[in-house]
Structure 1
C-alpha cells in the first residue's frame, strides 16, 4: 500500500503542468512513507534505504548532465519520475497495545527470524518484555500537556528534543547547502564551466552512494555516538579546507580548485557514512512508545523546516560572502561536537524498554552526560538494562500467573 501511494504521488509530480498539482503530488508521496524495524539491528534496517536513495540522486544528476540541450520542462519531468517506496506490515507493540495478543505474538515471531514458533522462548521472552513495558506505560500514562510541563517520569520532552536536535544538526551541518547548489558552487566559487560542473556533480553523487552503503556496515558496529562525533569532526575539517581553497583559488585556480573539489567530495563521503542516516535511526530509537508518533513527526518536520532554511540563505551566502560562507558551517559542526558529546546518550544495542529505563527519573542518569559515564557512551548493551529486563519479565510472569489463578478460582466457585 505504501508503494502504491508513493507511486501515485510520483505520477502526479512528473506529470505536473502547474504548481498546485506538484504540491498535491508531494503530499501524497509523503503519505506513502513508513517502515517497521527489527529490535536486533534497527540501525541497519533504516540505513538500507540510504544507498538506493543516493542511487536515485545519482540518476537524477546524470539526467541533468544528459539534458542540457532539450527544453527545460522535459528535464524536470524526467527527473521527477524517479520514485518508489516499500512499507512493511504490522507493528507488534501497536497490536499488543490494542489487546490483539495472538496477532502481536505472531508479528514478534515473524520479525525475530524464520523457523520460530509462537511458543519459542525467544518469542515469549520478547512478548513478556514488551507487555511488561506496556503495563508500566499504562500505569504512568500522561498527557502531552504534562509532557511539555515535564511532569512525567520518563523524560519524554528531552527525548523528543534529542530527536529533533539530531535532525537540526544534520541540516545545519551543511548537507543541503551543497546538495541543492553543488553545481552552482563549482561554477561560481571555483570557476568551472557548466558541463564540467555537472559531470563532477554526478561523480560526487556516485561516491555519496558508496559512502551511504558504508553506513549500513558501520552503524551497529560503531554505535550512534561514535558516528555522530567522527562525522562532525570530519565535516568541520572539510568545510575549513573548502573555505581556505576558495579564498585562495584566485591565486592558483587549477591547484586550489582541485583542493576545493577534493574536500567537497570528502565532506559528502564523511556525511554519507555518518550523519546521512544516523539522525533518522536515533530519533526512531530515542523516543518512547507513547511518544513515537509525535516524536517522529516533530523530528521529520524539523528536518524539512531547517533544510528549507538552509536552501533559502545558501544562494545569497555563495554570492555575497564567498569563502566566509563555508566557515559558518565549519563552526556549526565544531559546536555540534560538544552538543552530541554531553547531551546524546548511546542508543545502539538498546531495546525501547532499555531506553525507557535509562530516561526514567529514578535511574540516576543526569541530563548532561559526565565524562566518566560509561553507560551513556558504550555501544554494548549495558548490564543495568539486561538486569532491568530480567526483572520486568519476572514481574510480568507473576502478573500472568496471578490472573490465571484468580480465573481458575472463579470457575471453581461457580461449580
Structure 2
C-alpha cells in the first residue's frame, strides 16, 4: 500500500515520520560542526582558522535560520506547507553539496547559509507536541556527535566531509515522504479548494464526509478561517505606534525576550562547543573530548522527553523559573571548578566542570528548551500572531548567532570568566519571568486578553492569581450589566 492510499492513523504516522526526519535534520545540523572543528584534516584544509573564524563557520548557521524565518513567513502561505518543505529541502541538499565539496572558508560559509533556509518552515506546535518535536531535535544532535566520533578513526578529509554530506540523507528522506503526503486541509479550505480539502480531511480522520465528528471539525476550521479573515489587518507600524487596550506591543516584547533569554542562558556554548571547550580549555584529547560531547548528547536526549508531561502539568512560569535557578547554580559551580582546576592542575575539578555541563543540559531541557517555542504564539491574538512569531523567532536566531560567533574568541581570551555572562543572565531571568511573564497554560485567548487589559504591568502571581484577574474582570462586567436592571426596578 502506497503513501497516497494511507488513511487515518496510518496517514498520521506517515506525516509524523516525515516531520521527524526534518527535525532530526534540524538537530543534526546543530551538532555536526561541534565534533569536526577540532579535526586536524578540517583545520589544515582551511588554513588553521582563528578562533573568530571558527565562530563564524559555526554561527553562520543561525543567520540561515533567520533568513529562513523571513522567507517562510512570506512564502509558506502562498506555496503551501508541502511545496515549501519540498523546495526548502532541495535547498538543503544544495547547501550540503557546497559544504562537503568546500576547499576554502568562503565556500563552506556560503554553503551553510542556503541549506538552513528551510529550518523554520515547519508548523509551530505547542505544548506536549512541541516538547516531543524538540526531543527529536535532540536525537539529531546525538546522531551528529557520535557519527563525528566514529569518523575520528578514519584518515584524511573524509573525517569531516562525510558527516557534512550525511545531512543530505535527512533531506532526501523528508522529500521522499512529503511528496506523497497530502496538503493541510485548512490551507486548502483557505484557498477555496473545498473538494480537495474535504478529501484530505476524510483521509486524516478515516471517516465519510457526512460523519458528525468530521462535520464538526470542518465547521470549526471554516469558523477559524472566517475569524482570521475578519480580523483587522495589523502592520508593524500600527503595532509600534498605536496604543491598544490589549497591550499588543508588550506581548510581542515578552515573546521576543523569552526567545532571546533562551539563547543567552548559554545553551549554544554547551551544544555547539562542548568538545571544543573540553579539548581547548580543559585539555582533554580530541578523542576523549568527543566522547564527553557524545555522552552529553545522550543525557540531553533523555532529558528532552519528560517536559512532554510537566510543561502542561506545572505551567510555563514554574518551568522557566525552576530551570533558570538550576542553570544559575550549574554555571556558578562550573566557573569555580574550572578556575581552581586550571590553577591547581586538578583533573578531578576539571571533570567535575564537565559534569556541571551535563546537569545544565538536563535543567535546560526541562525548561527553556520547549517553553520559548510554545509561549510567544500563545501570547498574541490572531491578527498579530504572524508578526509576533516571526519577530520572536528572528530575534532568537540572531541572538544564537551572536553567542556562537563570540564563544571561541571569549574562551581563548578569558577562559571560564566568559561563563559569568550566562550565570548572570540565568539569575536575572528568574525575576523577569516572575514579574512580567503571565501564565498561559490552559488559558483561552479571552483569558489572556483579560490579563493584559487589566492595566497591570507586572504579573507576579501564580496560575491562581491570573484566574483571579479574569474572574474579577468578569464580575465587574456582570455588575455593569445588572446595574441598569436594578435601576429600572427602582
Q: How many residues align?
A: 377
Q: What is the aligned partner in structure 1 of residue 146 from structure 2?
A: 62
Q: What is the aligned partner in structure 1 of residue 95 from structure 2?
A: 13
Query: Given that residues 92 and 118 in structure 2 are in contact (C-alpha distance below 8 angstroms), is that contact kept between their aligned partners in structure 1?
Result: no
1:158 to 250, 262, 265: 250
| Cα distance, 1:98–1:342 mapped onto 2, change above 3 Å | farther
* In 1: Cα distance, 2:108 partner to 2:418 partner: 35
1:307 to 400, 414, 431: 400
Q: What is the aligned partner in structure 1 of residue 118 from structure 2?
A: 31
Q: In the TM superposition, what is the alpha-carbon distance from 1:178 to its structure 2 partner?
A: 2.0
Query: Given that residues 173 and 332 in structure 1 are in contact (C-alpha distance below 8 angstroms), is that contact kept between their aligned partners in structure 2?
Result: yes
1:176 to 251, 265, 268: 268
Partner secondary structure for residue 49 of structure 1: helix
Q: What is the aligned partner in structure 2 of residue 294 from structure 1?
A: 387
2:132 to 27, 48, 55: 48
* In 1: Cα distance, 2:455 partner to 2:414 partner: 44
1:90 counterpart = 2:184: yes
Cα offsets for 1:252-307 (capped at 9, x unmatched): 52321231111110001111121112111112222221122222221121111111
Alpha-carbon RMSD: 3.8
* In 1: Cα distance, 2:398 partner to 2:348 partner: 37
* Unaligned segments of structure 2, at least 5 residues: 1-81, 476-490
| Cα distance, 1:308–1:152 mapped onto 2, change above 3 Å | same
Q: What is the aligned partner in structure 1 of residue 163 from structure 2?
A: 78
| Cα distance, 1:244–1:288 mapped onto 2, change above 3 Å | same
Query: Given that residues 43 and 216 in structure 1 are in contact (C-alpha distance below 8 angstroms), is that contact kept between their aligned partners in structure 2?
Result: yes
* In 2: Cα distance, 1:223 partner to 1:117 partner: 38
Q: What is the aligned partner in structure 2 of residue 369 from structure 1?
A: 459
| Range that drifts further, 304-313 or 111-120 | 111-120
* Unaligned segments of structure 1, at least 5 residues: 388-415
Point out the structure with the larger helix share. Answer: 2
1:254 counterpart = 2:347: yes
1:330 counterpart = 2:423: yes
| Cα distance, 1:134–1:51 mapped onto 2, change above 3 Å | closer
2:281 to 189, 192, 196: 189
Q: In the TM superposition, what is the alpha-carbon distance from 1:99 to its structure 2 partner?
A: 8.2
Q: What is the aligned partner in structure 2 of residue 225 from structure 1?
A: 317
Query: Given that residues 142 and 152 in structure 1 are in contact (C-alpha distance below 8 angstroms), is that contact kept between their aligned partners in structure 2?
Result: no
Partner secondary structure for residue 349 of structure 1: coil
Cα offsets for 1:22-42 (capped at 9, x unmatched): 64664354336434467xxx2
Cα offsets for 1:118-148 (capped at 9, x unmatched): 755974895698479658x63x554431210
* In 2: Cα distance, 1:67 partner to 1:21 partner: 19
Query: Given that residues 259 and 395 in structure 2 are in contact (C-alpha distance below 8 angstroms), is that contact kept between their aligned partners in structure 1?
Result: yes
* In 2: Cα distance, 1:108 partner to 1:320 partner: 58
Q: In the TM superposition, what is the alpha-carbon distance from 1:319 to its structure 2 partner?
A: 2.0
TM-score by length of structure 1 reads 0.77
